[in-house]
Structure 1
Amino acid sequence: MSRSAAMLIMGVFTLYFLTPIWWLLVSSSKTGGEITSTAPLWFTMDSVPTFMANLGNLFTYSDGVFGRWLANSALYAGLGALLGTVIAAMCGYALAKYEFRGREAIFNIVLSGVLVPATALALPLFLIFSEVKLTNTLWAVFLPSLVSPFGVYLARIYAAASVPTELLEAARLDGSSEVRTFFTVSTRLMAPALVTIFLFQFVAIWNNFFLPLIMLRDQVLFPVTLGLYAWNSQISQIPELRVLVIVGALVSILPLIATFLALQRFWSSGLGAGSVK
């Protein structure tokens, strides 16, 4: 394939993925009537003041519930991704650097977990949480987010490739405990993979919709995805919600973009380690 053909294909795919975001940005700067009566992919004369007004309405509608949804998503995704990364790192590190009976069997089970779609586990999780009276609580969304089979897989591959056994033995000879060695030595060497795991977890939890849908009934606990869905389902009765849903969708993707841009320099190296192995 020639260079020009490759660039053309890349341009088409880039346009395909960026067009919805551009439409969100443009539509967020319009009133409800302008969304359907003006050019869908270009701004109007009063785009800036209209956008600021829409943004203000978004955060004041229904006593500012959208801000609460954003905070919930930040809690679920931020803390869940952080703790999930720590758990995945510890499990992957143990599978890579310690010899024990059943290690390969456990790793194969972890690999099989990667192949199971999250939606297939939603109903069993609902039944389990119903038995322990944890549905319609933040724990029903938060606890499942701590488990990342792919994170365990990537952590194991990276630990095996980047953490020398000789370094661990030297730390033991110096009297360092296993826990201290892991947190002060191994995690620094595994940093690119850990950032990659964190990004995967953060994006997956932030975009999670089906699990909160079946677990939560109280809108105070909704993440932003479920909250926007609830508003969207009421547009036929409350037409002004259409603009709020569009502006809310735009605002909801900004944390994902910011997180990725802040950590992108670790992304390729972390994924590369898994592919090389």
Structure 2
Amino acid sequence: MEESHSSDHSEGHKALLELEKKFNKKARSSASNIQGSQIQALTGFIQIFDQYPYPVVINAAILKLADWFRIYNNHVKYYIYRVFKGASESQLCKVINVEETVRRILPVLGSNDPTARAIALRVFGCMSVISSNNLDVHYGIIQQMELATDRIELEAAIWAADQICARSKTFPSVIFPKIVEKLQNPNTPLEIKTKIIKIFRHMHQDIGMAREAKSTCLQLLQDKTTDTQLVLVTLRTLTLLSSQVVIDRKEQVTLY
């Protein structure tokens, strides 16, 4: 049995080397674009994960992807993001060097390119099953939520925050004040408020925070200028929150 596993590991590493070789076959004349061979190589990673579901193989593959993500252009970053998005939770949970993976991707959040930052945020959201308690990821998401002026980047930060909040016991309380601030800011676009308020459904770790989240939602509902779509999303969020926290459920029913 051990010999069989050793052989499978060896085959998995060989398959990774073949993908790396294919990825590196990049024509110099197209240095700024992504080649078909690179796309094929990147999409081949999911097949590797399925065929060789061993921690040593998946870990090596993820670290390689993290390296490429840091140094290559946004086209490559996008396809790497799709690999992370396509990987199952059980596959990602086999990553051994989570901290090192985060360390290699994190510098992209310091880039002056909002698209690159947005893709990096999406990757961290995809990694939430293994990175939900990483403080550097927490800080990076919060910082981009505060600083982002590009809508794509802001929406990516909100999505990543939602994914992390769903799995972390500490992050909801850290990001909670930032969410309230954006919801109460009259300059926050309606579309952003509609997305960000959904994060409140995760604010059930602490009874005080849950009640404050509910209070903020009720303020929005009582505001006659609140858009119909935001009202519907807010009601849905309150229902999901109350299903997790046994507070004022009868009062919640009357809101409908």
Calculate the TM-score normalised by the size of structure 1: 0.24
Structure 1 or 2, whichever has the larger Rg, is: 1
* Higher RCO (Cα < 8 Å, 6 or more apart): 1
